Structure 1
Amino acid sequence: MLKGFRDFILRGNVVDLAVAVIIGAAFAAITNSLVSDIINPLIAAVIGKPDFSAIVWHVHLFHAAQDLAPGAKPDATAGAIQVGKFLNNVISFLLNAAVVYFVIVLPMQKLLSRFKAPEAVTTKACAQCLSDIPLAATRCKFCTQPA
């Protein structure tokens, strides 16, 4: 039983996934710092607020008098939808996605394309009608001329 579990854990995919999750968590901390320490001050310089967290949409809730204790006031945050915090998280996500794409995905695609073998030619042009026909064809299926 333990041997099967050990074989499962030591397979390349599981170890690679664990490393990717750990590096991803550290990378998220870096991009969150980028958003809070660099981008938000730029937003503050343009808009006048440090970030979007002050943007709140208030939904008016009607409380019945019997729901409240005598002399108590309704909670001011009960009907607040934190739109600004959501926008901050969207900015952070988009930065994470952009950095992962431009720093990891794009260079890996370029590197792998160098080692990719060229595709084998499977068709040839018909001398009569210039349509593509398979290499093994003896006649063109469009104009019936010998290939």
Structure 2
Amino acid sequence: MLKGFREFISRGNVVDLAVAVVIGTAFTAIVSAIVEGFINPLIAAVFGRPDLAAVGNFEINDAQFSIGVVLAAIFNFLCVAAAVYFFIVLPINKLREMRAKEPEAEEEAVPPEDILLLREIRDALRDRV
């Protein structure tokens, strides 16, 4: 049971997923800081509202609706996805391409003498028939 778990954990996909979650969390903090320090003041200057969540609020029968909250979540997601793609996925893919392009020093193995002799016998027998 532990052996199977160990094999599962040591697979590349699981490790890649764990790294992606950690890096995604770190980028989320960076994106949140950018939104709070740059985007929200920019929105306040343009729309006269303190942040994106305050844009497009309305009420119907005492139910509060906020288009800005949805827009803020979409914006944060796109920023995190772009950062992960451009700073992690793209460089790793380039590195994999470079490794794949490197010529491998595979020399064609010369078969042993007995194999060559057996091939000659096989060919001679084939020609007789």
Normalised by the shorter chain, which TM-score bucket?
A: 0.5 to 0.7
1:86 aligns with 2:70: yes
How many correspondences in the alignment? 101
Partners of 1:84 and 1:40 lie apart in 2 by: 11
Q: Give the letter aligned to residue 102 of structure 1.
A: F
| Aligned partner letter, 1:33 | A
Contiguous gaps of at least 5 residues in structure 2: 102-129
CA distance in 1, matches of 2:13, 2:26: 20
User: TM-score by structure 2 length?
Assistant: 0.63
SS at 1:50 equivalent: coil
C-alpha distance in structure 2 between counterparts of 1:103 and 1:19, whole Å: 13
Large movers: runs of 4+ above 6 Å = none
**Which residue number corresponds to residue 38 of structure 1?**
38
Q: Does 1:20 pair with 2:20? A: yes
**Which residue is equivalent to 1:58?**
59
Structure 1 pair 94/110, CA: closer, same or farther in 2 (3 Å)?
same
CA deviation digits over 1:25-57, x for unaligned, max 9? 121121112112221112212222121222213
TM-score by length of 1: 0.56
Cα deviation 1:41-90 (Å, max 9, x = unaligned): 1221222212122221322x3xxxxxxxxxxxxxx3xx221211111112
Q: Whose helix proportion is higher, 1 or 2?
A: 2
- Contiguous gaps of at least 5 residues in structure 1: 62-75, 118-147
Deviations 1:90-136 (A, max 9, x none): 2212222222333234444444444554xxxxxxxxxxxxxxxxxxx
